Every structure is written in C-alpha cells, then in structure tokens.
C-alpha cells in the first residue's frame, strides 16, 4: 500500500501569517502534487499541529485548503491543536472509546495505528499518553494482524533526538509506552511529527522516521536551550510504500519548481547552472 504523510502545517486564521510564511500556499501546493502524482494512495495522514493556536478560524482555513484532496484524510492531534475545534472542522476525525483521536486501520498490506499524544490543558508542549490511551495502544497492538507490517504514528517522539530544544518537550512518559510495547508487540515502524526536521534511526530496535513540517522548520542546532530555533528551510511531504517486502519512504521538497537536468548532458555538467 502507498500513503502520504504531511505534518505540522501550523495554520493561523486566513489573513494572518506565522513567521512571515504562507502555510496556505505551501499546503495547497502539496495537495496539488499529491492529487496529481499519487492517485493510488490509500490515505493521507496529517501528523498533528494543524494550527498554531487552535482557533476555529484556523481550522476552517486548513479545512478549506485540504478539501480538494482526493485521498481520505486522517487528521491527528499535536500539542498546538484543540480536539473539539479540530473535530468541528474535520468531521471524519477519529474518536476512540475514550474520546481521543486514535484508530487502528487494517489494510491488506499493512496496519496503521494512529495515537493521540496531545496533553490538552497540560500547560506544556510535551506529549502524554494517559492510562486510557495506553490501554487503547495495548488493545490495538494485540489486535493488529501479525502477518503484515504494523506502522505506528504519534505526534510526539518518545525518544531523545539530541536536539535539546525538542527533547525537553517530547512524550512525557516514554517508559510507559515502551512497557506496553514490550509486553505486546513491537511496531515495524514509528512515524512522528513535532520536530520539524528530518531525523531517522532506531528506538529500542524500532525504526523511526521524523520529517519536516509544512510551515516553518527547526534549526539543526543540537545544544540550543533558549527556546526553539526556527528556520525557513523548504518543507517536505513524504510518500510511503509499505507491504510484505518492507517499507520505503520518499521525502519530497514539494515547493521546488526549478529546472531539472540530465546528468549525462555534457552542457549541464559544465554549467552554468540552469534556470
């Protein structure tokens, strides 16, 4: 199966900008390319932080931009979101028995488990998996068919990336999440947002992927401690193909509209740079 991941668009109400960026234009470009180039995807996962401050007007703005998307959209929560405002703008938003934005989807080639790490009212940007959400995780890990890859999605990483500004606001209780995984099933891949830059590796043997946001990015400054340093690096979306053969992840700098060249072209090799 194929699917697309986009994350951290951080919308503000239409007419406002955040850090001088036009997230509406960025996301509209991503939607255009996803519709044009990936007609065979099963879904688009939006890995949280749909808005910057959670206002209904910001959700209305992002809902308008995402409306042309042809594939089913799975909105998830991030620390900047507000559950009820999100649900009001996206009626298809998942609701587990505890009221959280979580779901297990089983496809022929893979299972997709989306978790809600928003600590609404917690007074911090860090994430949390309460007892109810951990119980949902345990049940879902037990239910997911054993004969196909299990892919888990959550906004907040349970691990330290080495980016100190982000490590301080990761999931508050990674040991509790790990305890559930250790006694049930180890996911085959873990996908996250929140960090606004590409990071990959292994968390206790589980491969993980973190990608750039649709809006602003986080600077590559590992030891920065005085707030979170932002940048205007170009955004990515991600195309994933998952199945019995494994998992392949493509990152696309979707705003790039410059020229292409053939590497065998002698004139291109000599330059000057095209365009």
State the nearest-atom distance from the C-beta of 188 to Fe ion, in Å.
Answer: 25
Residue nearest to Fe ion (CB): 49
Query: φ, ψ for residue 242 (rounded to 5)?
Result: -130, 140
- What is the closest distance, in whole angstroms, from the C-beta atom of residue 49 to Fe ion in the complex? 4
- Considering beta carbons, is residue 149 or 213 the nearer one to Fe ion? 213
Stretch that binds Fe ion, among 45-53, 58-66, 123-131, 236-244 (CB under 5 A): 45-53
**Binds Fe ion (CB under 5 A): choice among 2, 4, 27, 49:** 49
State the Cα–Cα distance between residues 184 and 10, nearest whole angstrom: 34
Tell me how far apart the alpha carbons of residues 234 and 256 are, in angstroms, rounded to a whole number: 8
Which residues sit opposite 3 in a β-bridge? 43, 240
Pair of tokens at residue 12: 């503000």
Nearer to Fe ion, 49 or 94 (CB): 49
State the minimum distance, in angstroms, from the CB of residue 80 to Fe ion: 6
CB of 48 to Fe ion, least distance (A): 7
Given a contact cutoff of 8 angstroms between Cβ atoms, the answer to whether 229 and 165 are in contact is yes
94 lies in the site for Fe ion, by CB under 5 A: no
Stretch that binds Fe ion, among 47-55, 105-113, 156-164, 183-191 (CB under 5 A): 47-55
Which two three-digit tokens encode residue 40?
Answer: 């065979």
Q: Which stretch binds Fe ion (CB under 5 A): 42-50, 54-62, 65-73, 227-235?
A: 42-50
Specify whether the backbone of 236 is left (phi greater than 0), alpha (psi in -120 to 50) or beta: beta
Q: Are 195 and 133 in contact (CB under 8 A)?
A: no
Should residue 8 be labelled a site residue for Fe ion when binding is judged by CB under 5 A?
Answer: yes
Task: Please say which residue, 115 or 242, places its beta carbon nearer to Fe ion.
Answer: 115
Q: Can you read off the two tokens belonging to residue 234?
A: 């170009």
In the complex with Fe ion, the residue whose CB is nearer, 8 or 94, is: 8
Kindly list the distances between the CA atom of residue 184 and the CA atoms of 116, 177, 193, in Å, as whole numbers in the listed order.
19, 11, 24
Q: What residues make contact with Fe ion under the rule CB under 5 A? A: 8, 49
């Amino acid at each position: 199966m194929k699917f697309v991941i986009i994350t951290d668009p951080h919308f503000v109400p239409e007419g406002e900008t955040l850090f001088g960026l036009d997230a509406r234009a960025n996301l509209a470009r991503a939607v255009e390319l996803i519709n044009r180039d990936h007609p065979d995807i099963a879904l688009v996962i939006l890995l949280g932080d749909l808005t910057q401050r959670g206002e209904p007007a910001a959700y209305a703005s992002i809902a308008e931009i995402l409306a042309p998307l042809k594939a089913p959209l799975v909105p998830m929560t991030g620390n900047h979101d507000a559950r009820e405002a999100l649900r009001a703008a996206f009626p298809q938003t998942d609701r587990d028995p505890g009221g959280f934005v979580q779901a297990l989807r089983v496809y022929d080639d893979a299972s997709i488990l989306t978790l809600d790490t928003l600590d609404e009212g917690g007074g911090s940007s860090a994430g949390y998996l309460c007892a109810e959400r951990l119980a949902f995780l345990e049940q879902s890990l037990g239910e997911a068919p054993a004969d196909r890859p299990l892919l888990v999605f959550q906004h907040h990483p349970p691990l330290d990336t080495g980016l100190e500004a982000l490590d301080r606001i990761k999931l508050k209780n990674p040991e509790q999440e790990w305890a559930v995984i250790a006694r049930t099933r180890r996911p085959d891949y873990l996908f996250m947002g929140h960090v606004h830059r590409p990071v990959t590796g292994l968390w206790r043997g589980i491969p993980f992927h973190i990608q750039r946001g649709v809006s602003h990015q986080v600077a590559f400054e590992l030891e920065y401690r005085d707030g979170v340093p932002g940048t205007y690096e170009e955004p990515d979306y991600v195309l994933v193909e998952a199945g019995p053969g494994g998992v392949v992840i493509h990152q696309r700098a979707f705003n790039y509209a410059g020229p292409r060249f053939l590497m065998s072209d002698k004139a291109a090799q000599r330059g000057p740079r095209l365009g």
